[in-house]
Amino acid sequence: VRRRAVQAVQVQPGDTVLDIACGTGLNLAALSARVGAAGRVIGIDMSSAMLLIAEERVQAGGLRNVELVNAPVGDAAIPELADAALFSFTHDILYSPEATRAALAYLRAGASVVACGAMQKWFPGRLGWWLPTLISRGFTGDREPMERPWERLAAHLAHVQTRRLAAYLGTMYVCAGRTRTIPQTST
Ligand SMILES: C[S@@+](CC[C@H](N)C(=O)[O-])C[C@H]1O[C@@H](n2cnc3c(N)ncnc32)[C@H](O)[C@@H]1O
């Protein structure tokens, strides 16, 4: 799922990409390779414990183009508008309209945005609700898994494409789009 998500991020060598709520940094090496030595990866997470592990990963991998910012999304000091952002298993952010908006504010118009994670899925018959829910809950913790967790994020984006993946009995998705170049008018 992570590999598919990182591949879906549209970046050029030299670009800046944000790993929103990067956790222990499982996506940092792949993002680092995508933007190259001239690029920049900025991982943001409010948990210093998670970032300690991420920092070990950065050191062990010699990821010289990666920076880690220990702050709630919205309070991070990001020096320039970024070209892309990854929301990987960041259900806390996707469930919060404020946090989602705060993360998108770090991006330039037309930036590539990708989200991936677990969703609620319904099976016919006896497997019905509980098996996919059990799987999704493994990834969303206390949160009730949503059927379309990408929806609030996607409402801010253009050119949205969502794929449901076969992994974990079809409970995984990758959603990709771009920040709007023309501001949305309220109706
Ligand atoms: C499931 S974990 C790690 C996800 C990571 N992106 C990955 O793919 O492994 C979710 C992370 O979100 C972080 N988080 C939750 N709410 C946050 C917020 N408002 N600002 C920054 N980080 C947040 C948590 O500290 C946690 O490390």
Higher pLDDT, 108 or 170: 108
Q: What is the pLDDT of residues 5-48, one digit of tens each?
A: 999 999 999 999 999 999 999 999 999 999 999 999 999 999 99
The answer to whether 147 touches 127, Cβ cutoff 8 Å, is: no
Ligand 1 center to 115 CA (angstroms):
13
Q: What is the pLDDT of residues 47-61, one digit of tens each?
A: 999 999 999 999 999
Residue 184 has a pLDDT of 56
Q: What is the pLDDT of residues 101-160, one digit of tens each?
A: 999 999 999 999 999 998 877 766 666 666 667 776 677 776 776 788 999 999 999 999
Residue 22 has a pLDDT of 98
Ligand 1 center to 161 CA (angstroms):
23
The DSSP code for 65 is T
Q: What is the DSSP string of 74-129?
A: TS---SS-EEEEEEES-HHHHT-HHHHHHHHTTEEEEEEEEEEEE-----STTSTT
State the Cα–Cα distance between residues 109 and 164, nearest whole angstrom.
26
Two tokens, residue 164: 């449901």
Our answer on whether the CB atom of 54 is closer than 6 Å to any ligand 1 atom is no
Ligand 1 center to 78 CA (angstroms):
17
Residue 187 has a pLDDT of 46
Residue 147 has a pLDDT of 80
State the Cα–Cα distance between residues 146 and 170, nearest whole angstrom.
14
pTM to 2 decimals? 0.92
Longest dimension (CA), the chain: 53
The single-letter code of the amino acid at 138 is G
Pocket perturbation via mutation, ligand 1, pick of 42, 88, 91, 93 by most ligand atoms within 8 A of CB: 93
Which is it for the CA torsion 46, 48, 49, 54, positive or negative?
A: positive
pLDDT at 63 over 70: yes
Q: What is the pLDDT of residues 84-99, one digit of tens each?
A: 999 999 999 999 999 9
Ligand 1 center to 134 CA (angstroms):
20
Ligand 1 center to 142 CA (angstroms):
14
The DSSP code for 144 is P
pLDDT at 161 over 60: yes
Our answer on whether the CB atom of 100 is closer than 6 Å to any ligand 1 atom is no
Which residues lie below 8 Å from residue 112, measured CB to CB, with a gap of 6+? 9, 10, 11, 83, 84, 85, 176, 178
Which residues lie below 8 Å from residue 170, measured CB to CB, with a gap of 6+? 121, 132, 164
